[in-house]
Amino acid sequence: MAETKAAKVYVTRELPSAALDPLAEAATVRVWPEELPPPPEVLLAEAADADALLTLLTDRIDAAIMAAAPRLRVISNMAVGYDNIDVQEASRRGILVTNTPGILTKTTADFAFALLLAAARRVVEADRYTRQGRWKTWGPQILLGQDVYEATLGVVGLGGVGLEVAKRGRGFGMRVLYCDSTRRPKEERRYGLACVKLDQLLAESDFVSLHTPLTPETHHLIGERELALMKPTAVLVNTARGAIVDQRDLWRFLKDGRIAAAAIDVSEQEPIAPDDPLLGLDNIIITPHIASASVATRLGMARMAVDNLLTALRGQVPPQCVNREAIPRWRRALPR
């Protein structure tokens, strides 16, 4: 691996040593040591002489950073989503962008289902109720929620995580609808899923779980019109990206009881502002973007991000390259 040792790599957060050590053996590595992301000016300065960046979804890698980084050949994002990176600009410059798909699929689906169950059965509210000393007796009418078993689940986006959520729903005896730009007949047959249009899914589902990437097409995919199609008893779950939902509309619908509840692991602004009106509602659960946060999965993501980066530094195309159109330009820039 001697050929990569001269390469300079900037890593935007501390990662487990089991992932970072192999990187440090192979390249010259600088790591941002703090808990909060490096400020844009630090990122710009560090990228200036870097051959590779290992980034997180909290790091905005835009055209200005790439323009200031003439040696940059690969941006390895430790996430399946890569909406924090200007991929078009990277491709134009022959910079490979990689992500970490697959490894977090089941962990994220488990969490989406945990949120679904918790919102349906008001688990977080019930915990608060108990801690506040409000539990006086067994009450036939207190904290009534929605049944999950045999209800209808609508999965928006049948990628890896969406499919795993659908399978969990089938395990609960649910009727599962999905919508996606690509129809999946094999999965429909194998798992008993029905492909419908988004409007039908919203109108018929008791639980709607979002699993699309954030793109210009999916920005505010769920807003006033879509929320109005949902049942007043319905629960919305979002573990994908905050901006897929118009958060102001969601707040209005939850406040007015026009949908029963929501559970979101992501928000339009992250972290959510302390004065965001959503935080004042009881019928929403808000978690800090932790759907992939299991010990094993986060280590796996870090290792995959390091592997992707080292593969590119060795002059090979990493399998998780998301901008294959960049490859010809990237190859031309390789040292001969």
Residues that bind ligand DGY (CB under 6 A): 57, 79-81, 104, 292
Q: Is 328 exposed, middle or buried (0-12, 13-18, 19+ CB in 10 A)?
A: exposed
* Active-site annotation holds for 289: yes
State the nearest-atom distance from the C-beta of 57 to ligand DGY, in Å: 6
State the nearest-atom distance from the C-beta of 98 to ligand DGY, in Å: 12
Nearer to ligand DGY, 99 or 146 (CB): 99
d(CA 234, CA 144): 14
Nearer to ligand DGY, 91 or 320 (CB): 320
State the nearest-atom distance from the C-beta of 51 to ligand DGY, in Å: 24
267 close to 288: Cβ distance less than 8 angstroms? no
Nearer to ligand DGY, 58 or 283 (CB): 58
Catalytic residue, chosen from 241, 268, 298, 303, is: 241
Catalytic residue, chosen from 188, 224, 270, 325, is: 270
State the nearest-atom distance from the C-beta of 214 to ligand DGY, in Å: 9
* Active-site annotation holds for 270: yes
State the nearest-atom distance from the C-beta of 80 to ligand DGY, in Å: 4
Please, what's the b/e burial string for 172-191 (b: 16 or more CB within 10 A of its CB; e: otherwise)? bebbbbbbbeeebeebbeeb
* Active-site annotation holds for 187: no
Please, what's the b/e burial string for 35-55 (b: 16 or more CB within 10 A of its CB; e: otherwise)? eebbeeeebbebbeebbbbbb
Nearer to ligand DGY, 104 or 321 (CB): 104
Nearer to ligand DGY, 29 or 57 (CB): 57
Check residue 149 and give left, alpha or beta (phi > 0: left; psi -120 to 50: alpha): beta
Residues with catalytic roles = 241, 270, 289
